[in-house]
């Protein structure tokens, strides 16, 4: 059901999407959402509300049981909850992997793939760590490698599945700042799943709030701050007001 349509005005669109698993569990019901080119949209919701299912549907890893999903481009990059690095490959080789797999790119000379991967690692601040195995990197650095692996494909749409959920608070805040620097600018769109209200508000143009299972959209909140956003924005009263609005929608969704 996931169909790339070249003439689509939005980067990603869900129309009346539902997902019922073979077990009978209804994960999503009647979900409508759209992400414009260049837009960063976050989805917050209680655990188990089907947030991850939403991303699996968007990426085509799984098919919806109702509704339509449209993608403007098939150049998507998925950033998993875990860094999902292959432990026997170095940081550089892990980034190169997706270039090797990609059928459109695998004829590219090895040296060029290596250069692209090296540049992606530099972008995420890992220059000098190319040859390290994942086990020798910290949790934050592993997530950076995972980000580099997404960036190297130069995607049109990023799908993030709570990528910073397992990181400590300090690393997490730093990664958020870094992410908005990397993603914003140009026409790159992103759908970002998180359960952190502050993270969602800090990163996004728009925050969508989901209800508990079966998940559906209960609020759509604009975040007007311009990019790049400074770290101190999190202490701004205007920021707090929007965060409170999102929290209220979340609490409302719970009841």
Q: Which residues bind other proteins (CB under 8 A)?
A: 59-61, 76, 78, 80-82, 84, 86-88, 97-98, 100-103, 125, 128-129, 132-138, 140-141, 174, 177-178, 181, 224-226, 228-233, 236, 238
Instruction: Give the phi and the psi of residue 209 in degrees, each rounded to 5.
Output: -110, 130
Which residue's CB is nearer to other proteins, number 9 or number 240?
240
Which residue's CB is nearer to other proteins, number 1 or number 86?
86
Which residue's CB is nearer to other proteins, number 186 or number 228?
228
**Do the beta carbons of residue 173 and residue 231 sit within 8 Å?**
yes
Q: At what angle do helices 110-123 and 91-101 cross, to 10 degrees?
A: 120
CB of residue 29 vs other proteins: minimum separation in angstroms?
24
Strands (E), 134-188: 157-161
CB of residue 60 vs other proteins: minimum separation in angstroms?
8
Q: Which residue has the tokens 């692209």?
A: 116
Which residue's CB is nearer to other proteins, number 14 or number 239?
239
Angle CA 52–168–80, to nearest 5 = 25
Rounded distance between C-alpha atoms, residue 190 and residue 159, angstroms: 6
CB of residue 8 vs other proteins: minimum separation in angstroms?
20
Secondary structure of residue 15 in the 3-state scheme: strand
CB of residue 68 vs other proteins: minimum separation in angstroms?
20
């Amino acid at each position: 059901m996931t169909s790339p349509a070249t003439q689509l005005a939005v980067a990603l669109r869900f129309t009346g999407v539902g997902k019922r698993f073979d077990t009978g569990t209804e994960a999503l019901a009647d979900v409508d959402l759209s992400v414009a080119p260049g837009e960063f949209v976050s989805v917050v919701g209680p655990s188990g509300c089907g947030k991850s299912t939403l991303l699996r549907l968007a990426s085509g890893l799984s098919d919806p049981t109702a509704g339509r999903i449209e993608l403007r481009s098939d150049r998507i990059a998925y950033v998993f909850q875990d860094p999902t690095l292959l432990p026997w490959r170095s940081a550089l080789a892990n980034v190169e992997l997706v270039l090797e797999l990609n059928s459109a790119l695998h004829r590219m000379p090895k040296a060029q793939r290596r250069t692209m991967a090296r540049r992606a690692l530099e972008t995420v601040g890992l220059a000098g760590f190319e040859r390290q195995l994942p086990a020798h990197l910290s949790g934050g650095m592993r997530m950076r490698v995972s980000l580099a692996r997404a960036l190297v494909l130069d995607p049109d749409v990023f799908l993030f599945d709570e990528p910073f959920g397992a990181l400590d608070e300090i690393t997490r805040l730093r990664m958020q700042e870094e992410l908005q620097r990397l993603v914003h600018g140009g026409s790159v769109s992103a759908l970002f799943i998180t359960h952190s209200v502050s993270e969602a508000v800090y990163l996004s143009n728009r925050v969508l709030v989901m209800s508990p299972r079966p998940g559906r959209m209960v609020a759509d909140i604009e975040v007007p701050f311009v990019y790049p956003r400074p770290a101190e924005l999190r202490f701004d009263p205007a920021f707090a007001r929007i965060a409170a609005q999102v929290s209220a929608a979340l609490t409302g969704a719970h009841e």
